Amino acid sequence: MNQSVLPAVSPDTLEIVPLGGLGEFGMNMMAVSWEDTTILIDAGVMFPDPDQLGVDLIIPDLTYLETRRDRIKALVLTHGHEDHIGAVPHVMPLFDGPVYGTAMTLAMVEPKLEEHGIDAGDRLQTVKPRQTVTIGPLTVEFIRVTHSMPDCVALAITTPLGTIVHTGDFKIDQTPIDGQHFDLHRFAELGTRGVLALLADSTNIDRKGFTGSEVEVIDAFEELFTSTTGKLMVAMFSSSIYRIQLLVDLAVQFDRKVAFVGRSLVRNSEIAQRLGFLRVPTGVQIRDVDVPKFPPQDVLCLVTGSQGEPRAALSRISVDEHRHVHLAEDDVVVFSARAIPGNEKAIARTMSHIARRGADVVTDAMKHVHVSGHGSAEEIKLVLSLVRPRYFVPIHGEYRQLSQHARVAQRIMAGVEPKLQALLADDGDILQFDARGARIAGKAPAGRVLIDVTRIGEVTDEVLRDRRHLGADGIVIAVVTISQQGGLLVGEPEVVSRGFVVGDGDETSILKDAAGVIAACIESSSVEARADQGLMTETLRGELRRFFKKRSGRRPLVLPVVMEI
C-alpha cells in the first residue's frame, strides 16, 4: 500500500490488525479500529540474532500507523516487558493521545522516553485493574492477570459490535507472591455476558498441564543457599521482580548481602522498590563495587546476562572482565531463565567461561530454578471455557503454536452454537468483524525495522538499510585475525571504509589510528575474551563506534570481522 492515508474503516465494522507478535515471539503490537477511531495495544520490540551486526532492537514496521496518524487516539499497554513496551518511544511521536498502563508498566516506560528525549507531559495515564476508560466509541476495561512480573492486565474492549478480550501475557498463579490473584471472576462474568472475540496468548499451548507458581522455585534455591560455600550468583531477566523478591527474602533468611549487577537490574529494582512491588530490608542491599569487601559466603549477586548477551554483566564476569565482581572456586552460578531460541550457543559459551573460572553452573535441567510466566495448556483451556467467545484469534507465538491453540479452542467449544470460528492470522492481516461475520479481509503494511543507535533500516530490504547507512555516515569494516593458541593479534588489523568522509579529508590517518584502537582493545582483553568471537566482535564494535564519534563526530556503521587461525 503506497497511499499516504488509508480509508476509514467501513461503517459498523470492527477492524483488528496485528502488526507484530503473530508467527514470532516478541514485537507485540495490534491496532483496533472502529470507523475513524484507532487504539493501539502494546508496542514491543524483538532482540536481534547474533549475526545481525550493528542492530540493537527490532520493531514492527510502522507504515500502517503513519497512514492513520489522525485516527490513533490512544496506546494501551498490558504490562512492562520489553516485547510489549520497547517500541513505545518510536510509536508515541505518531499520535497525540494518551498512553494507558498500570503504575509499574508506565514506570518502566518513562526511562525509555527520557533516553529518546521525549517529553510525555501528561500523556502517561495510570490505570488500575477493574478501571475503565472511554476512547471515542470504545471502552477499555483493565483486568488483573498474573504473569512473571507485577501489575499485568488483560483488556476487555467494548465496541458497538460487541466485546473483545485481549489476554496479554498470562499464567494463572494461584499463590502469587504479591497476593494479587488472576481475576477469574471477571473473565467468567464477561463470558456470561457474551464475548465477540478472544485474542489469547499462545506461548505455552504445547506444554501440558499447568505452569508452576513462582513459589515453586523456593525449595531448589533454599538447597542452593544451604550448600553454596562461596558467592551465589543468579542470572535472570531484569524484569522478573517476583523472582528477585523471593531471592531477596532467602538472602535475608541465610544472612547474605544482595548486589544487583547490570544496569537494567539496578534500574528495575529501583523502580519496583519505589512503587512498593519489591521490598529489600535496610542493610541487605550492597553495590557491585562493595562485593569484594564481603566474604564470598555472605554475598548473593543477581546479574543480567542469562541469554549469553556479549556485553551483559554475566558475560563480562565469566571472562573476568567485570570491574568489581569476580568468580572463584566454590562460587555457584544459577541460570534462572529459559533459553530464548537462537541464544543456545551464546549461553553455552558463557557457561564454559564460568567453568574455566572454577565455579559451578546450575540450570533448570538440574534443579527447579525457573518457572515460565506463561500459562500452559490447562490454564489456556480454562480461560477459553470462561470467556466462551464467538470468534477466536490466537496471538503471541510462532505459527505452529497459533495453529495448535486454534485446534484446542475448537475442541473446547465443540457443541456450542453458534459454532466457534477461529481466525489464524499473520502480522499485517486485516481482520474484520461485522453483522455478517468475521473474515481476513486484506493485508496492511507489516514487517520489521532494524534499530541501531542512530539509524533505521528495514529487515526486508537490507540493501536499502546499507544504502541509508552509507548515504549518511558510511561504513567501516575492521578485519582482525587472532591466533587460536594464545589469543594474540596476528598481523596488523585492516580497516577499510566506504562512504565515510571526515571533515578535513584525512581518512587515512583516522583509519590508521582506528587500527591502533583495535590492537589496544585486544591487548587489554583477557585470553578467554579474545577466544570468544561474539564477545570480541561486540567489544570492538563498541570501542570503534566511540572512537569514530569522538574523532569525526560521525557514526558510521561499524562491522568488525574477527577471524581465528
Residue 370's Cβ-count burial label (10 Å; 0-12, 13-18, 19+) is buried
Cα of 482 vs its chain's centroid, Å: 34
Binning the chain into helix, strand and coil, the percentages to the nearest 5 are 35, 25, 40
Active site residue 473: no
Residue 144's Cβ-count burial label (10 Å; 0-12, 13-18, 19+) is buried
Question: Which residue of the set 61, 169, 173, 201 is catalytic?
Answer: 201
C-alpha to C-alpha distance for 379 and 201, rounded to whole angstroms: 11
Question: Which residue of the set 374, 396, 405, 469 is catalytic?
Answer: 374
- 441: Cβ contacts below 8 Å, ≥ 6 apart: 430, 431, 432
Cα of 368 vs its chain's centroid, Å: 23
C-alpha to C-alpha distance for 223 and 203, rounded to whole angstroms: 30
CB 489, CB 523: distance < 8 Å: yes
Tell me the residue ranges of DSSP E strands in 444-491: 448-451, 456-458, 475-482
C-alpha to C-alpha distance for 237 and 302, rounded to whole angstroms: 10
Q: Is 482 left (phi over 0), alpha (psi -120 to 50) or beta?
A: beta
Q: Are strands 332-335 and 232-235 parallel, antiparallel or unpaired?
A: parallel
3-state secondary structure of 408: helix
375's grid cell: 500459562
| 197 membership: H or E segment, kind and range | strand 195-201
Residue 99: what residue type? Answer: V
Active site residue 116: no
C-alpha to C-alpha distance for 191 and 231, rounded to whole angstroms: 50
Give me the sign of the Cα torsion angle 40, 396, 28, 431: negative
Residue 120's Cβ-count burial label (10 Å; 0-12, 13-18, 19+) is middle
C-alpha to C-alpha distance for 355 and 234, rounded to whole angstroms: 15
Active-site positions read 201, 374
